[in-house]
A and B are shown apart, each in its own frame.
Chain A
Amino acid sequence: MTLTLHQVTFERQDQPVFSPVSFSLQKGECLQITGKNGAGKSTLLKLIAGLLQPTHGNIQSNHDLYYLGHKNAHQLSLTARENIILIATMLDVKLSEKSIQEILQQAGIEKLIDTPVKFFSAGQMRRLALAKLLLKPQKLWLLDEPTTALDALGVKWFENILQTHLSRGGIAVIATHDVLENIKSKIIDLSNHHCHPEQTALWSAKDLPITTGRSFVAKNAPQDDSIALTFTQLCKLTYFEILAIFREAHAWLTPLIFFLMAITLFPLAVGSDIPLLHTIAPGIIWVLALLSILLSIESIFRYDKESGRLDFVLSIPNQISVYITSKIITHWLIYALPIVLFSPLLGILLGLSFDEIKILGLSLLTGTAVLSLIGVTGAALVTGIRGSGLLLPILIMPLYIPILIFGTNIITTAEQHQPLSAYFAMMLALTLLSAIVAPIFSSLALKTGVNQ
């Protein structure tokens, strides 16, 4: 297996980031990319990892890669052990308790095994990130400034594992300011851009078809994905997502408390007249459910974007759909379900009868799934936009209108003792439609969002 780049360029705002890059790496070879700040080192790594598409040129690489950006891709509220298991799940590696301990011991952070990562020092975080490389013998390592924040001992340890990787026939591409002198490797300086002499000599025009894009040499990854495997992955991922959110009480409680508090404003504002409240109750409850879900969706991908975890997920083939599905399920369970469960209480406060409460609860139960699905899609769309603030509600509120109409009208219809099956059928249809459309659009949007 080889990694081959042919005349690869990338343009940002119509400006090429670096002049065309060509090189080829065989088994056991290491390439170090150096260059000034802004020379395009990280961009080149992202291109190889498939996070960006080259403007011109061609990249041939392997599915079997491990990308570590200059951020560590940790889930900060999970412990070291949980982080290791989480990554192992994504890479489909079975781990025993002993091997987790061994890996952490090698990295010199075995004492922190049950400490949440957010309490780690910068160097310890980096060590944990590099320890994840040991989970599975991947063929291609793409590492962005791997030795940042590492002490001398840490650098030595990293050089050791890199050497082992190379001697096993692995390939490594490393972007760095301080060239690792102890590793025998080729070097490209992106700012003075000349390729290593042997490299430039390698190419003649006939060597590769000049098509723009990225192709994989080995297509073995997709076949491993059986449905059962995907399902266990999904369950584990969702479990960790939920765990991570539950450790941050403010994150999951705030929207619910907002929902409960905002309800109180209505009797205070329109008067305590029960018949009036009774008329507008379904509308109020639905609108507030919608708003509190809107409050919660913006953060869905933001933390992952900031921690670098999103880049990591996107660099693993076929992982994005499982990831998005787990996000949707988590969002519904944590933010929408409590609202459904609390709605009867609010129904009582606003003077709804038992039957009406039952139907309201049912309509929220079917409808909130749509809110989560569309919400996640919208969140994916604004990932990476700094200070997106109120943009997200503006984008998706119009899309919430149909479900709001069916959700609230169902109660009026129930009061008139007319059949409700049509409403439930419509809401179910909307749920199914969103369930099909949302993951596709979310993954498209996320892949676009990493560009920023």
Chain B
Amino acid sequence: MFQRFQQQFLSLKNFYFITRYFLPWIAIAFFVTASYGVIDGLFFAPADYQQGNAFRIIYVHVPSAFTAMAIYFVMAASALLTLVWRTKMAAICMSVSARIGVWFTLLALVTGSLWGKPMWGTWWIWDARLTSVLILLFLYIGFIALQSVIAEVQTRDRASAILALLGVINLPIIHYSVIWWNTLHQGPTLSRFARPAIANSMLWPLLSMIAAFLLFYVWILLLRMRNQIILRERKSLWVQELMA
């Protein structure tokens, strides 16, 4: 059954044509969630009683950190598909995701550092979670560096997939060892297991922003994947027809 699925949906050509119908909806959903999140978060949500209005950077910081992390897991899942089933689509998804993920990670670091200045009085603190995001950035950079030096497509896909899997095995270990090492950061704002330590009026725009960031990722991912498909299949008949 999986093979059938792979042939039907994961063939590059079908994927290209099917996603054409998804794209506008994803874009619309992104604009709706993002505008609600931005407007409610910046103007209507109450100011934090300790942090004042400076806390509002949470609406960019937390979603970008969350998305950066999520993208790495998407990457690792695609890496597994690449290695085990040699799915071309997964390989494309993996390399495109890395290039998007690295920017979200950078955004999380920059906003974290901007937030740190008014809260901790310094741009950078070697706090556990900032540090583990920094290491995540290194993992992304390593992945992209490896991809950029291998010319042969299949080798590049497989070698970088191995690295991505190695990274994802290490990610939780790095995360907890860094927490063990040092923690100054405020506790997690959102947790699945406990009631979130945040008022509902602040929570809704945050959730909406997280959704917006994820949608934005999927949107850009599909756009760039479609580009890659055209590039990789440029010699095939259907692309030639499409471009004619």
Interface residues in chain A, defined as those with a beta carbon under 8 Å from any beta carbon in chain B:
12-14, 377, 381-382, 385, 388, 391, 394-399, 401-402, 405-406, 409, 426, 430, 433, 437, 441, 444-445, 448-449, 451-452
Q: 8 A-B pairs, CB-CB below 8 angstroms?
A: A395-B142, A395-B145, A398-B139, A402-B173, A405-B180, A441-B165, A444-B83, A452-B152
Q: Mark B127-153, 1 if CB is under 8 A from A, else 0.
A: 000000001001101100110011111
Q: Are B162 and A405 in contact (CB under 8 A)?
A: no
Q: Are A451 and B162 in contact (CB under 8 A)?
A: no
- Within 8 Å of chain A (Cβ to Cβ): is B178? yes
Q: Are A448 and B135 in contact (CB under 8 A)?
A: no
CA distance A396 to B162 in the complex (A): 12
With contact pairs A385-B149, A391-B146, A405-B180 given, residues A399 and B170 touching in the complex (Cβ less than 8 Å)? yes
Instruction: Give 10 A-B pairs besides A396-B142, A445-B159, A448-B155 with Cβ atoms closer than 8 angstroms.
Output: A13-B153, A381-B163, A385-B149, A391-B145, A391-B146, A391-B149, A394-B138, A399-B166, A437-B169, A448-B158
CA distance A398 to B232 in the complex (A): 32
Q: Are B155 and A452 in contact (CB under 8 A)?
A: yes
- Within 8 Å of chain A (Cβ to Cβ): is B181? yes
Closest to A382 in B: B146
- Within 8 Å of chain A (Cβ to Cβ): is B174? yes
With contact pairs A12-B152, A388-B149, A395-B142 given, residues A402 and B162 touching in the complex (Cβ less than 8 Å)? no
For B150, give its contact among A398, A430, A437, A452 (CB under 8 Å). Answer: A452
CA distance A445 to B156 in the complex (A): 11
- Within 8 Å of chain A (Cβ to Cβ): is B7? no
> Closest approach, in angstroms, between the C-beta of B94 and any C-beta of chain A?
14
CA distance A123 to B158 in the complex (A): 37
Closest to A393 in B: B142
B170 cross-chain contacts in A, Cβ below 8 A? 398-399, 402
CA distance A401 to B152 in the complex (A): 31
With contact pairs A381-B159, A398-B139 given, residues A451 and B173 touching in the complex (Cβ less than 8 Å)? no
> Closest approach, in angstroms, between the C-beta of B197 and any C-beta of chain A?
27
> Closest approach, in angstroms, between the C-beta of B96 and any C-beta of chain A?
19
B146 cross-chain contacts in A, Cβ below 8 A? 381-382, 391, 395
CA distance A381 to B166 in the complex (A): 11
CA distance A341 to B235 in the complex (A): 59
Closest to A422 in B: B180
Q: Are A398 and B155 in contact (CB under 8 A)?
A: no
Closest to B175 in A: A402
Q: For the complex, would chain A's binding face be called helix, strand, loop or mixed by DSSP majority? A: helix
Q: Are A409 and B152 in contact (CB under 8 A)?
A: no
- Within 8 Å of chain A (Cβ to Cβ): is B183? no
Q: Are A395 and B163 in contact (CB under 8 A)?
A: yes
A405 cross-chain contacts in B, Cβ below 8 A? 177-178, 180-181
> Closest approach, in angstroms, between the C-beta of A154 and any C-beta of chain B?
35
A395 cross-chain contacts in B, Cβ below 8 A? 142, 145-146, 163
Interface residues in chain B, defined as those with a beta carbon under 8 Å from any beta carbon in chain A:
83, 135, 138-139, 141-142, 145-146, 149-155, 158-159, 162-163, 165-167, 169-170, 173-174, 177-178, 180-181, 232, 235
Q: Are A445 and B162 in contact (CB under 8 A)?
A: yes
For A444, give its contact among B145, B152, B162 (CB under 8 Å). Answer: B162
CA distance A409 to B180 in the complex (A): 10
A388 cross-chain contacts in B, Cβ below 8 A? 149
Q: Are B152 and A14 in contact (CB under 8 A)?
A: no
A385 cross-chain contacts in B, Cβ below 8 A? 149-150
CA distance A38 to B83 in the complex (A): 29
> Closest approach, in angstroms, between the C-beta of A319 and any C-beta of chain B?
20
Closest to A380 in B: B162
> Closest approach, in angstroms, between the C-beta of B179 and any C-beta of chain A?
10
For B142, give its contact among A394, A402, A426, A437 (CB under 8 Å). Answer: A394
Q: Are A377 and B166 in contact (CB under 8 A)?
A: yes
CA distance A381 to B150 in the complex (A): 11
B149 cross-chain contacts in A, Cβ below 8 A? 385, 388, 391
Q: Are A401 and B177 in contact (CB under 8 A)?
A: yes
Q: Are B177 and A402 in contact (CB under 8 A)?
A: yes
> Closest approach, in angstroms, between the C-beta of A219 and any C-beta of chain B?
22
CA distance A396 to B167 in the complex (A): 9
Q: Are B235 and A401 in contact (CB under 8 A)?
A: no
A382 cross-chain contacts in B, Cβ below 8 A? 146
CA distance A451 to B163 in the complex (A): 17
> Closest approach, in angstroms, between the C-beta of B116 and any C-beta of chain A?
21
With contact pairs A391-B145, A394-B142, A398-B142 given, residues A448 and B159 touching in the complex (Cβ less than 8 Å)? yes
* Closest CB pairs A-B (n = 10): A402-B177, A448-B158, A398-B138, A451-B155, A395-B142, A405-B177, A405-B181, A402-B173, A399-B170, A398-B135
A397 cross-chain contacts in B, Cβ below 8 A? 138
B139 cross-chain contacts in A, Cβ below 8 A? 398
CA distance A294 to B174 in the complex (A): 19
> Closest approach, in angstroms, between the C-beta of A51 and any C-beta of chain B?
13
Q: Are A451 and B167 in contact (CB under 8 A)?
A: no
B181 cross-chain contacts in A, Cβ below 8 A? 405, 409
A401 cross-chain contacts in B, Cβ below 8 A? 135, 174, 177-178
Closest to B234 in A: A14
> Closest approach, in angstroms, between the C-beta of B11 and any C-beta of chain A?
16
A381 cross-chain contacts in B, Cβ below 8 A? 146, 159, 162-163
Q: Are B145 and A449 in contact (CB under 8 A)?
A: no
The residue in A394, A402, A437, A444 that gathers the most chain B C-beta atoms within 10 A of its C-beta is A402
B166 cross-chain contacts in A, Cβ below 8 A? 377, 399, 437, 441
Closest to A450 in B: B155
A394 cross-chain contacts in B, Cβ below 8 A? 138, 141-142, 145
Closest to B235 in A: A14
For B159, give its contact among A402, A426, A433, A449 (CB under 8 Å). Answer: A449
Closest to A395 in B: B142
CA distance A445 to B181 in the complex (A): 32
A430 cross-chain contacts in B, Cβ below 8 A? 173
CA distance A382 to B163 in the complex (A): 10
CA distance A394 to B148 in the complex (A): 13
CA distance A405 to B141 in the complex (A): 22
Closest to A447 in B: B158
Q: Are B177 and A406 in contact (CB under 8 A)?
A: yes
> Closest approach, in angstroms, between the C-beta of A167 and any C-beta of chain B?
40
